[in-house]
Amino acid sequence: MSEENGHKTINGKAEKCPYSKACGGCDLQGSRYKRQLSKKQKLLNELLGEFGEVRPVIGMSDPLHYRNKVHHAFKRDRSGNVLSGPYEKGSHWVINVDDCMIEDEACQCIIHTIRRLTKSCRIKIYNEDTDEGILRHVLIRRGFSTGEIMVVLVSGSRKVPDLKRFISQLVMIHPEITTVLLNINHGKSSMILGPDREKLLYGPGYIKDILCGKTFRISAKSFYQVNPVQTAVLYSTAISFAGLTGIETVFDAYCGIGTIGICASDHAGNVIGVELNPDAVRDANINAEENGIKNIKFYNDDAGRFMRRMAKEGQTADVVFMDPPRSGSTKEFMSAVIDMAPSRVVYVSCDPETLARDLKYFTAHSYRVKKIQPVDMFPFTRHVEVAVQLLRTNDAAFVK
Ligand code: SAH
């Protein structure tokens, strides 16, 4: 096997991941990377072409092992070996995956050690049917620039035996692990992490990463983009679409741990961020403080409700960044933005279908699409990010 043009090949033919059918995570397996990009481009042209020219998707020079967040469910086979991987598509059957093409290799190596240690330390694997046992999932996150690694052990039971020996061996073998947490999840849903706060087992409870020259602290439950190389490309595109000159009032809606707003803050007058997840807002506030940023404020609220209140209070905006989840935004949010009349809206989307729906709304209400830039954050899968610049039609003539 060799790597050619960013793709594992066997005798020049694109290799297909042996787990792809059962796993279902990568829809574009078996296609060379260039072909994957042209498939995405075609789909984007179909969905977004009516709003303007879709620029060529920015791809990766090395699209393998880009995912800095790795999650495995655990099981034991009949011979007592510990196995792990994703659930089979549409079920709770764990597929044993030893080598994934898109997962970070350092994280995968830790998963292999955890399998071995689970066996030697006699840690029981959780059984969903009987609700007995301990280890259910492992979530690993790696800070791309810092190399810091977080391991979250997810237990299916509240009664967890002493994990000291397990943890001390794990961090001795992998000194790159800087923090280990325990999360309890004995629910039946497919959520990886349970709702309660994690118990800290080792280190500070978070990792740090550097993005666009700023340092970010990331907790277990906070959203953080999974492809750090392409995130830098996406954010710099989005910030350039905002056309900031240092005096603008900027909103960063659906802000997560504050990444876009913090990266934009040096170029803006002031920034207001809003996010639903309280852990992410706590991270965002600490991130602002640790980067010495004084012109930013974060609120923990539903983005639609918050923007409606801002609009009612007569708050204006020059630029609104919005980066909603896959389900897209809401009429409540968009109508409030339209009332606040920013001259530019920068929409960062991870789902072109809901993006098209929301662009229809904006373009029917005084905005027009000026630029559409897709960035491939998820090679081998059908997913793609898109940054869109919308201009208020009254102002459109004056902005390049
Ligand atoms: N801009 C951030 C996060 C984008 S992901 C980044 O690039 O890292 C989308 C974020 O929207 C998540 O953090 C999620 O918690 C948040 N979110 C989901 N629904 C929301 C809502 N109704 N109001 C505010 N935030 C929401």
Residues 334-390 have pLDDT tens digits of 999 999 999 999 999 999 999 999 999 999 999 999 999 999 999 999 999 999 999
User: Is the Cα dihedral 299, 300, 303, 308 positive or negative?
Assistant: negative
Which pLDDT does position 15 carry in this prediction?
Answer: 66
Q: Residues 58-72: pLDDT tens digits?
A: 999 999 999 999 999
Question: Are 335 and 309 in contact, with CB atoms under 8 Å apart?
Answer: no
* Known active-site residue 350: yes
- Cα separation of 181 and 115, whole Å? 17
User: Which residue out of 23, 107, 263, 350 is catalytically annotated?
Assistant: 350
Nearest to 202 by CA among 165, 256, 228: 165
pLDDT of 13 above 50: no
- Cα separation of 308 and 315, whole Å? 10
CA of 282 to the centre of ligand 1 (A): 14
Tell the residue nearest (CA) to atom 21 of ligand 1: 302
Tell the residue nearest (CA) to atom 16 of ligand 1: 254
Q: Residues 14-59: pLDDT tens digits?
A: 567 889 888 888 989 888 999 999 999 999 999 999 999 999 999 9
Q: Is 186 left (phi over 0), alpha (psi -120 to 50) or beta?
A: alpha
Which pLDDT does position 5 carry in this prediction?
Answer: 47
Question: Sheet holding 344-349: strands in order across?
Answer: 296-300, 270-275, 249-253, 319-322, 344-349, 385-392, 367-375
Amino acid letter, residue 149: I
What is the rounded average pLDDT of the residues 302-327? 97
Sequence-distant (6+) residues with CB within 8 A of 161 are 123, 134
Tell the residue nearest (CA) to atom 11 of ligand 1: 254
What is the rounded average pLDDT of the residues 249-271? 97
Which of 275, 279, 308 to mutate for ligand 1's pocket (most ligand atoms within 8 Å of CB)? Answer: 275
Q: What is the 3-state secondary structure (H, E, C) of the chain?
A: CEEECCEEEECCEECCCCCHHHHCCCCCCCCCHHHHHHHHHHHHHHHHHHHCCECCCECCCCCCCCECEEEEEEEECCCCCEEEECECCCCCCECCCCCCCCECHHHHHHHHHHHHHHHHCCCCECECCCCECCEEEEEEEECCCCCCEEEEEEECCCCCCCCHHHHHHHHHHCCCEEEEEEEECCCCCCCCCCCCCCEEEECCCCEEEEECCEEEEECCCCCCCCCHHHHHHHHHHHHHHHCCCCCCEEEEECCCCCHHHHHHHHHCCEEEEEECCHHHHHHHHHHHHHCCCCCEEEEECCHHHHHHHHHHCCCCCCEEEECCCCCCCCHHHHHHHHHHCCCEEEEEECCHHHHHHHHHHHHCCCEEEEEEEEECCCCCCCCCEEEEEEEEHHHHCCCC
Q: Residues 223-242: pLDDT tens digits?
A: 899 999 999 999 999 999 99
Tell the residue nearest (CA) to atom 12 of ligand 1: 256
Phi first, then psi: give them for residue 356, nearest 5 degrees: -60, -45
Percent of residues, the chain, with pLDDT higher than 70: 95
Q: Is 11 left (phi over 0), alpha (psi -120 to 50) or beta?
A: left
Tell the residue nearest (CA) to atom 20 of ligand 1: 276
- Cα separation of 239 and 246, whole Å? 12
- Cα separation of 320 and 337, whole Å? 8
Of the listed ranges 186-190, 197-201, 273-277, 316-320, the one predicted with least confidence? 186-190
Half-sphere exposure in the Cβ direction for 109 (13 Å, CA):
12
- Cα separation of 378 and 64, whole Å? 10
The pocket around ligand 1, CB under 6 angstroms, is made up of: 223-225, 254-256, 259-260, 274-277, 280, 302-303, 323-325
- Cα separation of 282 and 300, whole Å? 9
pLDDT of 81 above 70: yes
- Cα separation of 297 and 268, whole Å? 13
pLDDT of 199 above 80: yes
- Cα separation of 363 and 385, whole Å? 20
CA of 322 to the centre of ligand 1 (A): 9
Extract the tokens encoding 294. Answer: 């004084």
What is the rounded average pLDDT of the residues 278-286? 94
CA of 223 to the centre of ligand 1 (A): 7
Extract the tokens encoding 27. Answer: 């829809």
Which pLDDT does position 14 carry in this prediction?
Answer: 52
pLDDT of 159 above 90: no
Which of 209, 211, 223 to mutate for ligand 1's pocket (most ligand atoms within 8 Å of CB)? Answer: 223
CA of 304 to the centre of ligand 1 (A): 12
Extract the tokens encoding 325. Answer: 């989840």
CA of 326 to the centre of ligand 1 (A): 10
- Cα separation of 392 and 369, whole Å? 9
Which of 69, 254, 305, 326 to mutate for ligand 1's pocket (most ligand atoms within 8 Å of CB)? Answer: 254
CA of 297 to the centre of ligand 1 (A): 16
